Structure 1
Amino acid sequence: MKTKNQSHLSNYLAYCTAQKKLDSKTIKSYMIDLYQFLCFIEDTEIEELSIPILESYISSLHAHYKPKTVKRKIASTKAFFHYLEYKEILEKNPFDKLHIRFREPILLPKTIPLHSIESILATIYHEHQTARTPYQRRNALRDAAVIEFLFATGIRISELCNLTPNEVNLNEGSILIYGKGSKERRIHIGNEDVLNILKEYEKKYHKEIVSCNHFFASQSGKPLSDQSVRRMINKYTSVASIDQHITPHMFRHTFATALLEEDVDIRYIQEMLGHSSINVTEIYTHVTLAKQREILTNKHPRKKMRVEG
């Protein structure tokens, strides 16, 4: 990789951090995508790039990745080139001359059957009630709070793990969430059972919460990690004898789909999920249409009629 190209990349990532205030996860994604791009063009300086080289790069991406990944990697590269144009390192952005179209397959979000969520919660509460030691009881209490919170709010796992005590007001049932791109949204928890378990957790874990300044904490006073939540879900899924592999993000999908099936306006769901575009939220309409098809196929009274033509 050319030293000059590497310098451009370092400056761009610094710009994204300091000026655009992008989160560390986005910066890491940009770094991986752009490092891959610069390795591909090898000894060619960015200022000397031609359309055929870019087309060759895009073709190589299509040969090795799924359309969604290709789209993300190209978006990362285009953003980099817009920066270079803005800084007058490039006179013109070569991507402007390329017409790139994607035909991504519609991948329906995977949801959790509501009876499975009920089984998981019942398993956790049973463990809380029958725990043999205070340590086990506190663990189960924290786990119940986490799972209830995931399902009650539709929050992303990264948002849950980064939540601070100042952003949680359980007396009002109000949660302030800083999502992707530091976008702010507020969501309310209206279920009293959920609020009660969260209040009990907050009381019993007060010392740990204050210690790490994160609302969800481990018994050792450290912020709860993404992997800890995944292990937690896997544990209770297994104990409840649920065959489906369940991830934290599936609670978000289930939250949105269930609300849509209850005729909640999609604009409200968009706001609760923190989607910048309604197009992202509309993927859940495909799920409800699939559910509609299943209902009409299996439940419509015509199925019970025995009419011979």
Structure 2
Amino acid sequence: MNDLTLLNQNVTDEQYLAYLQDHLKDRQLLDENRNLSLENSSEQDFLELFFLEKVFPQDKKLSPHTVKAYRSDAKTLLSFLTNHSLSFRDIGFPEVKAYNKFIKENYAAKSAIRKLEFFRRLLDFGYETQFYKAHLSTWISKPVSKKGHYIIEETRHEEAQTRVQVRELNQKDAEFLLSFFPKIVKAKRNREQLEKRNLLIGYLLYTTGLRASELLSLNWGSFRTNRKGFLFADVFGKGNKPRSIPIREETKEILFKYRASIRESVEINIEDTSPLFFALYNKNEPLLNKKRLTYPALYKIVKEAVHLAGKNLKVTPHWFRHTFVTLLLENDVPLAVVKDWAGHSDISTTNIYLERVNQDNSYLHLNKVNLF
């Protein structure tokens, strides 16, 4: 126990406190007020503590997607510094502005915003711990990103913004596409199980608005029946926020048929942590090896169904989420209810969908006006 990695290990309270008291003091990482001070620390200590305290804290569960994004952001910053023969200690006003310019010119708006937010957090941590003497993050300026369910044709700031395309399906196309999810199965072994699995994937995407990561993380124990006998799925969304989503009767029926086809109990068991969706290998006993389905596998299922159906080849799993939210609002489901079902952190995000629904329906209001 002689380095900062101890902070992310399972240790007793006594060990943890002793480490903070002794090792941080030995490394001269505490000031006269016993506050964390990195004024004279090594860059290694600065980076390790930044990641341990601000990026990957013990009490915060991050999705694999988020972890991958943070690592990508760190790699981008490190590459920039290396290419310019800079250290973290060298960062000042000129370096902040230069990196800001580099990110804006080389990344699409949403990626640029995320990378600059990572940079801001690092600079703020450095200022709070006296690694940096100035509040350097104040000089960061992020690009403006259009929120919502659109494919944004990304342009540089000096170019005009091109038109956008909605990333969703109409109800007719969505229902038509669902019928192709089981049809893409070519394997003879476990054919029935694969067909029912794929159909359930399609129905859950379309009738629940689940994010891909949320769907893939479902266990049999994620489902429960409420006091009135209706089936719900309990999921953890962005930021590990829990929410409950009602399951339609059509989807419930397909869910139980899928469970029966893989020789699993259809009795609800909230203690069952086995994955709902797993890879059905072409082996004699595939059901004994329940390796959770991955996003590439899910993406492939959707893409093959789209291709077989002859629909828009740009369709991805996330299009079904946008379709679900839009259909709810078109059928007058209250905005606050849609927000909760979709797991939006802010109702302003849900309102973006409503604004477009209202815009699409504007002709109805126009036709009510007696102009002639």
Q: Verify same fold: TM over 0.5.
A: yes
Matched-pair identity in %: 22
Which position in structure 1 is the counterpart of 2:49?
Answer: 11
Alpha-carbon contact 2:120-2:140 (below 8 Å) kept: no
Which position in structure 1 is the counterpart of 2:145?
Answer: 104
> TM-score w.r.t. structure 1 length?
0.82
Q: Quick one: distance in 1 between partners of 2:123 and 2:265? A: 45
Q: Which sections of structure 2, spanning at least 5 residues, go unmatched?
A: 1-40, 151-166, 282-289
Q: 1:92 to 1:185 in 2, by over 3 A?
A: farther
Identify the match of residue 173 of structure 2 among 116, 124, 135: 116
Q: Quick one: distance in 2 between partners of 1:258 and 1:143? A: 22
Asked if residue 186 in structure 1 is aligned to residue 252 in structure 2, the reply is: no
Q: Letter of the 2:98 partner, please give it.
A: S
Q: 1:28 to 1:232 in 2, by over 3 A?
A: closer
Deviation at 1:282, TM superposition (A): 2.5
Deviation at 1:30, TM superposition (A): 1.6
CA RMSD of aligned residues (A): 3.4
Q: Quick one: distance in 2 between partners of 1:8 and 1:264? A: 49
Q: 1:77 to 1:223 in 2, by over 3 A?
A: same
Could you say which structure has the larger radius of gyration? 2
Deviation at 1:47, TM superposition (A): 3.8
Deviates more, 1:210-219 or 1:229-238: 210-219
Identify the match of residue 252 of structure 2 among 195, 200, 206: 195
SS in 2 for 1:176: strand
Alpha-carbon contact 1:208-1:218 (below 8 Å) kept: no
Deviation at 1:58, TM superposition (A): 0.7
Identify the match of residue 242 of structure 1 among 286, 295, 311: 311
Deviation at 1:108, TM superposition (A): 4.1
Q: Quick one: distance in 1 between partners of 2:331 and 2:194? A: 33
Asked if residue 262 in structure 1 is aligned to residue 319 in structure 2, the reply is: no
Q: 1:278 to 1:92 in 2, by over 3 A?
A: farther
Alpha-carbon contact 1:208-1:222 (below 8 Å) kept: no
Which position in structure 1 is the counterpart of 2:196?
Answer: 141
Q: Quick one: distance in 2 between partners of 1:89 and 1:27? A: 25
SS in 1 for 2:86: coil
> TM-score w.r.t. structure 2 length?
0.70
Tell me the number of residue pairs that the alignment of Structure 1 and Structure 2 aligns.
297
Which position in structure 2 is the counterpart of 1:79?
Answer: 121
Asked if residue 281 in structure 1 is aligned to residue 350 in structure 2, the reply is: yes
Q: 1:72 to 1:20 in 2, by over 3 A?
A: farther
Which position in structure 1 is the counterpart of 2:137?
Answer: 95
Q: Letter of the 2:143 partner, please give it.
A: F
Alpha-carbon contact 2:97-2:140 (below 8 Å) kept: no
Q: Quick one: distance in 2 between partners of 1:134 and 1:45? A: 57
> Could you say which structure has the greater relative contact order, defined with CA pairs below 8 angstroms and 6 or more residues apart?
1
In proportion to residue count, which structure has more helix?
A: 1
Q: Letter of the 1:100 partner, please give it.
A: S
Q: Quick one: distance in 2 between partners of 1:104 and 1:237? A: 29
SS in 2 for 1:256: helix
Alpha-carbon contact 1:22-1:182 (below 8 Å) kept: yes
Asked if residue 40 in structure 1 is aligned to residue 80 in structure 2, the reply is: yes
Deviation at 1:133, TM superposition (A): 5.3
Q: 1:51 to 1:139 in 2, by over 3 A?
A: same
Q: 1:101 to 1:65 in 2, by over 3 A?
A: closer
Q: 1:173 to 1:88 in 2, by over 3 A?
A: farther
SS in 2 for 1:150: helix
Deviation at 1:216, TM superposition (A): 1.2
Q: Letter of the 2:65 partner, please give it.
A: K
SS in 1 for 2:304: helix
Once the two structures are superposed, residues 137-163 of structure 1 have per-residue CA deviations (whole angstroms, 9 ceiling, x without a partner) of 221111111111111111110111112
Deviation at 1:259, TM superposition (A): 0.8
Deviation at 1:105, TM superposition (A): 4.2
Deviates more, 1:214-223 or 1:106-115: 106-115
SS in 1 for 2:234: strand
Q: 1:132 to 1:46 in 2, by over 3 A?
A: closer
Q: Letter of the 1:180 partner, please give it.
A: K
Q: Quick one: distance in 2 between partners of 1:206 and 1:79? A: 49
Q: Quick one: distance in 1 between partners of 2:337 and 2:212? A: 21
SS in 2 for 1:282: helix
Identify the match of residue 55 of structure 1 among 97, 115, 125: 97
Q: Quick one: distance in 2 between partners of 1:273 and 1:108? A: 13
Asked if residue 231 in structure 1 is aligned to residue 300 in structure 2, the reply is: yes
Once the two structures are superposed, residues 75-104 of structure 1 have per-residue CA deviations (whole angstroms, 9 ceiling, x without a partner) of 1111222333444433443113x2625333
